[in-house]
Amino acid sequence: MATATLVGQEIQEGQRLIDALNEANLSIESALWLYSSDSETWQLMLTSPTCDRQGSLQAYKEILGIFRELKPELKIDWTSLVAVSPKYELIEGLRQSQLLWHHDLSGRRLTNNMVNTMFVEDSYIYQIK
């Protein structure tokens, strides 16, 4: 994705991937699009306990396997995918915010916010578990 704007198509395609991953029992606990102004790119961050058990490379391989199988082909760039631990600082902070404020962040945009010590310039949150 080469634009600074996240559009509905990317959001829908991301959801298609998340649904396929969950159907394949890959246990994607949290998922969000996250914008980085440094690289001017959006990344689809996916958390999986596989990152903790077998490493991020194994989780990434599993995610890419499902990504490549989806038909019709996804209209998002596979290089935008990032596999992280459910213990990743940003995810932990978002999870804590949900608990503290009793507010589900699913389906919401988060813009120009501090989460723990991380600045979130822009994001679209699918789910935080």
Residue 46: per-residue pLDDT = 98
List b or e across 91-108, with b for residues whose CB sees 16 or more CB atoms inside 10 angstroms. bbbbbebbeeeeeebeee
- For residue 117, being part of any structural domain is answered with yes
Comparing C-alpha atoms, which of 49, 78, 47, 48 is closest to residue 65? 78
- For residue 1, being part of any structural domain is answered with no
pTM score of the predicted model = 0.91
Whichever domain contains 36, its CATH number is: 3.30.460
Domain range enclosing 80: 8-127
- For residue 76, being part of any structural domain is answered with yes
Number of domains in the chain: 1
- For residue 3, being part of any structural domain is answered with no
DSSP 102: T
- For residue 33, being part of any structural domain is answered with yes
Q: What is the pLDDT of residues 63-89, one digit of tens each?
A: 999 999 999 999 999 999 999 999 999
Helix (H) or strand (E) holding 109: strand 108-115
- Per DSSP bridges, beta strands 81-84 and 41-47 are parallel
Which residue numbers in the chain have pLDDT < 70?
Answer: 1-4
Residue 37: per-residue pLDDT = 85
- For residue 21, being part of any structural domain is answered with yes
- For residue 20, being part of any structural domain is answered with yes
